[in-house]
Structure 1
């Protein structure tokens, strides 16, 4: 695979020409937004980490595998959720040791330095954990299909291979505020920009951040799998000033803000790339004012944030132990994601990174040479094989006609 290429100058010019004629309506919408967003920021700053919704895994399990009703609107409003006690602590700590042995042991054997790894068996054991599968399904179920004909199935998740972070106390690190799942595509991509149509119509208040329509047909240059939520499983304790994630918990307002400010602020000279979108303070100050560190978590807790949500990572880590996470998001079954799994199966067999990362970086990465402890399909559980597209998804008697059709189509794409 090669790096994604795009005609930056031409694309930006086309975007400017398309939206110029809408500027009066967009400006009026933006003015209303600024008032609403500043009020919300005030509440976030008053409450701090407590602003971010939390629940225990048992609450998901006892509510038929869904986010509790009394919490659902709060989660959808903020765009994030912390689920505690998803995977037993001791099991997570064991998996972390297995990840470290694979990572550091192979570095020592091969001399190939890695910032993180994606293919450790310990990572796959976390990804395929039955409790996590239920939480991922619960996250997918928060989305809906306004068109009614979208080919997707939220109860049959597909896995996006991502990496992990093991950050020792006092070490440098951190990330400025940003949003993933594409950048400039939000303005120009024929399908993806439809996800934000309410904003382009000057009606940001009507933006539905949980409408799956067009999300599952937006094949982006380097974000070719739809992740409803990004997320990670904690492999250590984490909290304020311990080198962990900060979220801007206002998904609708935050999204409308960075979309409109990019168009309307004449001082904005830089445009985002096709990989992600920088939300640095000098560009988008209100996103940064709304950032808040997550509440305290322990090994086995699951942190989820909406794919459009601004987030950063603390630059200071003043805790007394490592700050470690395994990046695992929530993605539903759909044909586009199945197409990604076809490519991901191949990079997995080669020991490489996921296709999005190969596309971005132009190589398979150092794990291609990590021969010790590299997992194969036989090492995965039945759940893991299905989520990876290495085994077909079953069609049950409880599946409706649409779910059966989507499952059959995705299985065919995957070669079954």
Structure 2
């Protein structure tokens, strides 16, 4: 039976988080096929002069922004209190800071003692069952390919967590008639991290998720960045949903590829940890940095080791076609050699100290990674829980994810296998913590109310989930 369950993974092979990265998994970054050379030509044809001027302006702007980040460090990361979300009193200045940086910490989303109990129960679940994860050859993992512990289900469906996600979703702006309801969060089920003191294995290089070559290759996805490719980077709005909902982010069925539109990636802190303690690091310069790494494949230095005088030149000196860290089926990676103007050695900033029950979020265009090791005294423990709004594509995924929860197999976007099918104490529908959580996981019909878009989406969601209209 376990073999039959594993076969129903729609092509996802067994694996772990390392397989989502070219460098981390030991794969080689080879030149791209010739179609990418033609794609680069088509994206910029007739706009070469405008793109050169835009690039020159962008480089000057990045000098200022990278100086600011290098100076302020983690003080630049906006902090929100959950009580302000609940009361509708989050200052507009803080919202503006989130939109400027692409990142946020939300304090006090869950009660500390409640969160610590979830971690204790989760440890018991992991100790009582065989498990896979990263590192592959270690008895104790750092990132567990575990999705259905009762603790994870309770955390994802906690009403405060869902309210926080709805708030984060609404950082984005939808055009009239665009088929999205940002007020309704869905639960995208992800992994567990327990990074022990001294760990050097889980050192993720700077990268962005939600696709790699797809941002150039998929027509809907590259339309998100149309202003950048037109030579108007200052007009690019990273919070405009136009194109994002229709974008195909996993064209190559990658081991870590997300087929779901997430507004933010995120996690719930389960233990106290912060800088130098194995935490997340981000590059909090959202719009300009996105413009930079999307335009980088079209520019070459005119002088060795110089950050000035780069010229529009889509062809590599050796004739190869590359997208500077983007490869089919893995995450988009960033390096000081490929992306020198980002000053990554100085501007990958650790999040401030988080307490159990705090959450952190980062836009899916935000460059992020992890510290090279955990120098602290505690395990750095988190549940990965992103923000995911209601769209038709997302609800189709939720329907398949609901089947995986029932079966105990990995969710559709993740590496395959029988997963937790035979695990003792595996979580189930009974562990859902709220009625909002039942909605978010697809176990309750959506109320048909609101404006025309919300009504149509709710009706379509109920149809996909097998519910009659309500």
Return the TM-score normalized by structure 2. 0.81
Following superposition of structure 1 onto structure 2, how do residues 316-335 of structure 1 map, counting pairs within 5 Å? 316-335=373-392
Please give the residue correspondences for 1:93-104 in structure 2 after superposition, counting only pairs within 5 Å: 93-104=116-127
Counterpart for residue 208 of structure 2: 179
- In the alignment, which residue of structure 1 is the partner of 2:11? 2
Q: Report what 2:360 is aligned to.
A: 303
| Match in the other structure for 1:164 | 192
Q: Distance in 1 between matches of 2:369 and 2:139?
A: 28
The reply to whether residue 16 of structure 1 matches residue 40 of structure 2 is yes
1:356 alignment counterpart: 413
Partner of 2:351: 294
Aligned partners of 1:23 and 1:264 also within 8 Å:
no
Q: Is 1:91 aligned to residue 114 of structure 2? A: yes
1:59 equivalent among 66, 70, 84 = 84
The 1-side partners of 2:188 and 2:340 are apart by 31
- Corresponding residue of 2:58: 33
* 1:9-408 equivalences in 2 (<5 Å): 9-19=33-43, 21=45, 22-63=47-88, 67-107=90-130, 115-116=143-144, 117-146=146-175, 148-172=176-200, 173-221=202-250, 222-265=257-300, 266=316, 269=322, 270=324, 271-287=326-342, 288=344, 289-357=346-414, 361=415, 363-364=416-417, 366-370=419-423, 372-380=424-432, 381-396=434-449, 399-408=450-459
3-state secondary structure, aligned to 2:207: strand
How far residue 104 of structure 1 moved from its aligned partner, in angstroms, is 2.3
- In the alignment, is the contact (CA less than 8 A) between 2:178 and 2:453 conserved in 1? no
Q: For 1:274 and 1:219, how far apart are their aligned partners in 2?
A: 12
Cα 1:158–1:275 change in 2 (3 A) is farther
Give, in angstroms, the shift of residue 335 of structure 1: 0.3
- Whether the 8 Å contact between 2:204 and 2:370 is mirrored in structure 1 is yes
- Give how far 1:212 is off: 1.4
- Taking the aligned partners of 1:154 and 1:214, their CA distance within structure 2 comes to 15
- Secondary structure of the residue that 1:215 maps to in structure 2? coil
CA change 1:388–1:108 in 2 (3 A) is closer
Any idea what the Cα deviations from partners look like across 1:107-151, whole Å, max 9, x if unmatched? 289x998641211110111111111111101001111113x2211
Aligned equivalents of 2:425, 2:402: Cα separation in 1: 18
- Check conservation: 1:351, 1:368, Cα contact below 8 A: yes
Q: Confirm or deny: 8 A CA contact 1:158 1:333 kept in the other structure.
A: yes
Q: CA 1:349–1:275 in structure 2 vs 1: closer, same or farther (change >3 Å)?
A: farther
2: CA distance, partners of 1:175 / 1:325: 15
**Which has more radius of gyration?**
2
Between Structure 1 and Structure 2, which shows a larger proportion of helix residues?
1
Q: How many angstroms does 1:382 deviate by?
A: 2.1
Runs of at least 5 residues in structure 2 that lack an aligned partner in the other structure: 1-9, 14-30, 133-137, 251-256, 301-315
Contact 1:234 1:324 in 2 (8 A): yes
**DSSP 3-state at the match of 2:337:** coil
C-alpha RMSD over aligned residues: 2.2
How big is the shift at 1:3? 4.5
- Mapped contact 2:51–2:229 kept (Cα < 8 A): yes
- Deviation of 1:13 after TM superposition, in Å, equals 3.0
Q: What residue ranges of structure 1 are gaps of 5+ in the alignment?
A: none
